Amino acid sequence: MSDYILVLDEGTTSTRAMLFASDGVLVASHQEPLTQHYPQSGWVEHDPAEIWEKTLRCAENVVPKAGGAAMIACIGITNQRETVVAWDRTTGEPLANAIVWQDRRTEPFCAALREAGHEAGVQERTGLLLDPYFSGTKMRWLLDNVPPVKAAADAGTLAFGTVESWLVFKLTGGAAHITDASNASRTLLMGLEDAQFNEELCELLGVPLAALPGVVDTCGPLAMTDPSLLGRAIPITGLAGDQQAATVGQACLAPGQTKATYGTGAFVLTCQGSRIPRSTNRLLGTVLTQCDGVRTYAIEGSVFVAGSLVQWLRDSLGIVEVASQTEALARSIPDSGGVVIVPALAGLGAPHWNAEARGVIAGLSFASGKAELARAALEAMAHQTHDLAAAFTADGAPWKTLRIDGGMAANDWMAQDLADVLGVTVERPGFVETTALGAAMLAAAGAGLYPDLGSAAQAMRGRLSKFEPAMGDDVRDARLAAWRKALAAA
């Protein structure tokens, strides 16, 4: 029976192919690193040809481990979001390097749009803010600055797309130029109401609608691969941006269910069901899933510094040799002795949005040592997450549970502290590759291996660890009061 699911997980620093059994168990995986190009300060590029070649190579590597292409029921793709590729639809060749999501080169254009008073209207329609992070202004930059892109636009052969769109085009031998609604919702060009690219938004950003892909579901029969590539025509049945895929992978499919990924920074998404998010707290609204044309939405917020604070304790202060030692240090003392860290080392993200803010260590005394600093660093994760939770609640999206993943989520002490300070149950899956698992769930549901996404998520989600809130109100209140005082100093 052909019931394996092939997931192509195209990340910022590497490309992977992963083979899942239909019960969500990972069977095989192959990974290749991706070259990062930094042509100028603030610019980050990838080579689209390299992305495609490595993706294909990773897929070719794992397909035999399923017993051949005949054993693969479907393909799911998840990708680094907002990164833009421009190619010629007749030749299938890239016309420029991809501009990566981290790239800041379009800030002057964004600033001009903000100054002209467009942000409120754009946020109302797209759920996004006018920031270089998103795809639309990157497309405009390519048109303005790369002559072959402009020439292809004039000749009517230009194709723009985010990375999943580029990969589907190549995987289908150029037959399909599509993007899924979750990736399209990161472009500044798509209205959240109808999940279609919008003529007025295209005009505002100066991006030709004709160059954009068709917007399709995140799961369903979306396209078929070119049979000459992997041995047979395999249906592509799941497509989603990485954070949306991780949210699905954590089975956050009902309103209020929330996932937080604690890696270098922290990304939080709360499912909103069919309700279109409207933030008054500078959070983002985004499409989570679209199956049979029916959409769910999510509210999204991120903090810039999470695991990187632990890295700083390790590399700059030498307080620990490896990140996981913070756990034993935090446990070795009953409290941080009044030490509070505000991790504004790179400004503050949601909900504060203060680029000029800088880090603070408050409450130092002669009794403060390594353990107090390590504990204060971990406590800062709960404090930052608490402020995000307050913003989500103010936007009408209170959290029911918090499902955590990412490298830092391995820290049991931090997981318990999150439950204590937030006052919600924190859940952590045993299988931490939630992004790839989410893409597998979408593909499995889209291929009809399960009746719907909810049943796929139920069946494929592995074992969980749970952390229940146990902290007294007085302790929590005192912690948060000290945090607010330190935050004011940042």
d(CA 216, CA 49): 24
Report, in Å, the least distance between residue 16 CB and ligand ADP: 13
Report, in Å, the least distance between residue 59 CB and ligand ADP: 22
For ligand ADP, the binding residues in 228-287 under the rule CB under 6 A are: 263-264
- Contact with ligand ADP (CB under 6 A) among 49, 333, 410, 480: 410
Cα 320 to Cα 56, 62, 163, 382, 432: the distances in Å are: 40, 38, 38, 20, 24
C-beta neighbour count of 478 within 10 angstroms? 13
Q: Is the CB of 15 or the CB of 290 nearer to ligand ADP? A: 15
- Contact with ligand ADP (CB under 6 A) among 279, 411, 434, 435: 411
DSSP code, position 186: T
Residue nearest to ligand ADP (CB): 407
Q: Which residue has the tokens 């639809």?
A: 89
Looking at residue 451, its amino acid is P
Q: What DSSP letter does each residue of 393-451 carry, written as one string?
A: HHTT---SEEEEESGGGG-HHHHHHHHHHHTS-EEEESS--HHHHHHHHHHHHHTTSSS
- The crossing angle, in degrees rounded to 10, of helices 135-145 and 147-155 is 100
For ligand ADP, the binding residues in 168-227 under the rule CB under 6 A are: none
Q: Is the CB of 76 or the CB of 406 nearer to ligand ADP? A: 406
> Three-class SS of residue 170?
helix
> Three-class SS of residue 409?
helix
Report, in Å, the least distance between residue 432 CB and ligand ADP: 8
Report, in Å, the least distance between residue 259 CB and ligand ADP: 13
14-20 and 26-33 strand pairing: antiparallel
For ligand ADP, the binding residues in 52-91 under the rule CB under 6 A are: none
Contact 65, 28 (CB under 8 A): yes
For ligand ADP, the binding residues in 452-471 under the rule CB under 6 A are: none
For 343, list phi and psi in degrees, rounded to 5.
-80, 55
For the window 290-319, what string marks contact with ligand ADP as x by the rule CB under 6 A? Answer: -----------------xx-xx--------
For ligand ADP, the binding residues in 323-342 under the rule CB under 6 A are: 323-324, 326-327
Q: Is the CB of 287 or the CB of 415 nearer to ligand ADP? A: 415
**Selected range binding ligand ADP among 19-27, 83-91, 200-208, 401-409, rule: CB under 6 A:** 401-409
Q: Is the CB of 216 or the CB of 404 nearer to ligand ADP? A: 404
d(CA 321, CA 130): 40
Which of 29, 27, 25, 442 has its CA nearest to residue 251?
442
HSE-up (13 A, CA, CB side) for residue 229: 21
* Dihedral over Cα of 225, 57, 76, 100: its sign: negative
| 465 Cβ contact list (under 8 Å, min separation 6) | 415, 427, 428, 430
Report, in Å, the least distance between residue 14 CB and ligand ADP: 10
Q: Is the CB of 323 or the CB of 459 nearer to ligand ADP? A: 323
DSSP code, position 38: -
- Contact with ligand ADP (CB under 6 A) among 142, 298, 408, 418: 408
Q: Using the rule CB under 6 A, is 486 a contact of ligand ADP?
A: no
Q: Is the CB of 97 or the CB of 411 nearer to ligand ADP? A: 411
Tokens of 55: 């993706």
- Contact with ligand ADP (CB under 6 A) among 173, 174, 347, 407: 407
Count of residues interacting with ligand ADP (CB under 6 A) = 15
Report, in Å, the least distance between residue 406 CB and ligand ADP: 4
Report, in Å, the least distance between residue 297 CB and ligand ADP: 25
Tokens of 375: 């504990």
Residues lying near ligand ADP in the complex (CB under 6 A) are found at 263-264, 307-308, 310-311, 323-324, 326-327, 406-408, 410-411
